[in-house]
Chains A and B, each alone.
Chain A
Amino acid sequence: MTTDATTDAPASPTAEQAPEAAGTARAHSNLGLGRLYLRRFLRNHPAVGGVVIFVLLVLFGAFGGRFTSYAYTDADFTALTQPPSSRHWFGTNQGGNDIYACAVHGLQRSLMIAVSVSVLTIVLAAIIGSGAAYFGGRVERVTLAAIHFLLIVPSFLILALVSHRLAGDWRVLIIVLTVFGWMSTARVIWSVSTSLRERDYVKAAEFMGVRPLRIIFRHIIPNLGSLLIVNLTLGVVATVLSETALSFLGFGVQTPDVSLGTMLADGASTVTSAPWLFAFPAGLVVLLTVSMTFIGDGLRDALDPTSATGSAGGRR
């Protein structure tokens, strides 16, 4: 069961052949690969904007609490459901909690969950996906069957069941989201790795007597590089969206802890009477996901010059 909507088709990386004339590759010979990537990335303005926004969000989550005397658990009974004011910058909710303090804490919580889940997922998916592709045969068949099985088990239901019972400990949420979230990424990595597996340099390594695990970690995973990095950033987006959805339905982070998702859920019922309860967390979530997507797109273009938007020829 999907969390919502009817499709889950993300924008797939494309492999448009850029009209790159002979000689361009050689012209970079004295320019380090890293500097070349950086130059391409910096030329992509939305991506740079994404980085700026993301860094600001992280700083806000980390140090935003210093600018207010309220903690997110404090209740100010003299100000219930107050609109933003000089005392409560983002206003207060029905229980008198300072929304600014809640937002700082919720952002921190959501970021923590999103980044850890995304990193864990990509590590798990990379090892399983590329391992299955490299070894092939029975290993591959069993892995794919397991992935299909886990995809057909309604993971959202299990997420809901588990977090319903374990009462919203965010660390448990990280584990659950990882355990049921790695499959589709692993499948993508598997299918890309099957073509990497046939590359000449992998075969060459085999003929040189390089051991299988070393081939996976030295030749296959590094060459998945751009795919992994892009999936890492998009994984942050996906996790934020899942956490938001789960928390919105009451299965994610639970009170008294606060995440952006729970704030959205709390604010939803009063969207007309007290819009600030909803608007601030909604704005933060959207800034977070959009900035991550721009970063991901920029990284893809920078690392993988054959992708659709990566051709310098095509731009301006």
Chain B
Amino acid sequence: MCGEGVPRVVRYVTRKAVGWLLMIVVATNATYFLASWFLDPRSNFKELRPVRSESQIDRALAPYNLDPRVPLVHRWWDWLTSVSLHFDWGKSPTGVSVNGEVGYRALVSAELVVVATVLSVVIGVALGVYTAARQYGWADRVSQAVSIVVFNLPTSVAALAVVFVAIWLNQHAGLHFLYVAGENSPGVEGLLPMIGDRLLHLILPTLTLTLMGYVGYHLTQRSLLLDTLHADFVRTAQATGLTRSQAIRRHALRAALIPTAASVAFSVPAVFTGAVITETIFGWNGMGRYFIQTISKNDVHGAVATAAFAAALTAIGAILADIATVFLDPRVRVS
């Protein structure tokens, strides 16, 4: 990194971040209005017995700034001031703090997604590099076919296939450590057994997420490398006396990894937003499931906070991707 490069990057990142922040603010407020318009917290009370009157319901919602009798603009203003002054994102229609929920569930999601992301990147990139160097070989054809099929599986189908196989294994092979639901088993005591138990619960969802995640890295890395394989500079490297595979490893691969690094940087923050369908199927209470619950339970504040959280992480990802490119690619770095 050349001397004056670092402050320039800082300035660049700051400027970008301000732009993203503005967009997030606008997007979040727009989501607030949309959510208030589409979600009706009163309907949660409609099925409760004994039947409550309209005013009873409204009174019950009032403490959470969800009283439909208050004009929407007022509610919005109260919500906005509480968010910007106290960073308090409000309460659900049952009075649960959104901040607390998001904080806890983001960690649950991260626990679920981190390992899967790492595995996806490692497996996907390795496979992409391996197969690109052997284009049209049998390994390439087989893995390409597998990846195309996996790429086209709906997550629900893939996850349930994993569940199905796991249950079959449990029944026929007498395995008992493949848990198909939940984050942990009730009644496990002690620190180490608890960690072990949680890890066992992680196996199947991680497998599912890795399956869904590696494909993208495999297919893109393969085509990126194929693009650079035929670059003139690889031929020059061969002309200096490298074998084809050395030239690919030392010259083509380095260049082809730069965009992948950027895309990894982009996806890192997304581990906190979780995986909606996988969490739903395996019964993990992460962000993904929280998001579904906020909508089905008409939790305006929860839905808006989830949206803002996701937007912020997208922005962070985009900035990280830019920084990664700047540090890895001299063509962007200097000049």
Contacts and interface: CB of A to CB of B under 8 A. Distances in A.
Physical contact A–B (CB less than 8 Å): yes
Interface of A: 1-17, 148-149, 151-154, 156-158, 160-162, 164-165, 237, 240-241, 244-245, 248-251, 261, 264-265, 268, 271-272, 275, 278, 282, 285-286, 289-290, 292-294, 297, 308, 314-316
| For the complex of A and B, 6 pairs with smallest distance between CB atoms | A11-B219, A289-B152, A9-B216, A5-B212, A14-B223, A4-B155
B108 interface: no
A7 B23 contact: no
A161 B209 contact: no
B296 interface: yes
Nearest to B151: A293
Contacts of B39: 161, 164
Contacts of B157: 264, 282, 285-286
Instruction: Summarize B's interface: helix, strand, loop or mixed.
Output: helix
A158 B291 CA distance: 12
B148 A3 contact: no
B177 interface: no
Contact of B154 (A9, A248, A272, A294): A248
Classify chain B: how many residues form its interface, as a range.
35 or more
Contacts of A162: 38
B26 A149 contact: yes
A165 B38 contact: yes
B327 interface: no
B34 A15 contact: no
Contacts of B30: 153
Interface stretch (B70-78, B189-197, B240-248, B309-317): B309-317
A1 B310 contact: yes
Interface in B103-159: 113, 116-117, 120, 135-136, 148-149, 151-157
A114 B152 CA distance: 14
B270 interface: yes
Given A6-B270, A308-B223, A248 B277 contact: yes
B229 interface: yes
Contacts of A265: 156
B62 interface: no
A294 B263 CA distance: 25
A216 B20 CA distance: 31
B314 A151 contact: yes
B217 A249 contact: no
Nearest to B221: A9
Nearest to B287: A1
B227 A245 contact: no
Given A245-B155, A250-B296, A7 B163 contact: no
9 contacts: A6-B270, A152-B314, A156-B276, A161-B39, A248-B277, A264-B156, A272-B164, A272-B167, A290-B148
A161 B213 contact: no
B295 A164 contact: yes
Contacts of A248: 154, 156, 277, 280
Nearest to B294: A157
Contact of B276 (A4, A13, A164, A272): A4
A21 B291 CA distance: 56
B288 to A, nearest CB: 8
Contacts, number: 182
B273 interface: yes
A7 B311 CA distance: 15
Contacts of B296: 164, 250
B325 interface: no
Contacts of A160: 292, 295
B242 to A, nearest CB: 20
A8 B156 contact: no
B202 interface: no
A72 to B, nearest CB: 20
A153 B34 CA distance: 12
A195 B270 CA distance: 31
B276 A249 contact: yes
Interface in B269-313: 270-271, 273, 275-278, 280-281, 288, 291-292, 295-296, 303, 306-307, 310-311
A286 B219 contact: no
Contacts of A11: 151, 219-220, 222-223
A224 B262 CA distance: 26
Interface string B222-249: 1110110110000000000000000000
B160 interface: yes
Contacts of B217: 7, 9
Most buried by B among A5, A148, A151, A245: A5
Nearest to B304: A157
A157 B152 contact: no
B160 A271 contact: yes
A153 B31 contact: yes
Contacts of B163: 271
B267 interface: yes
Contacts of B154: 240-241, 244-245, 248, 261, 264, 282, 285, 289
Given A9-B263, A149-B23, 15 more contacts: A4-B155, A4-B278, A6-B117, A6-B275, A7-B263, A11-B151, A12-B224, A14-B224, A148-B23, A152-B315, A154-B310, A157-B307, A282-B154, A289-B153, A293-B148
Contacts of A261: 154
A6 B209 contact: yes
A161 B152 contact: no
A250 B295 CA distance: 11
B35 interface: yes
A3 B155 contact: yes
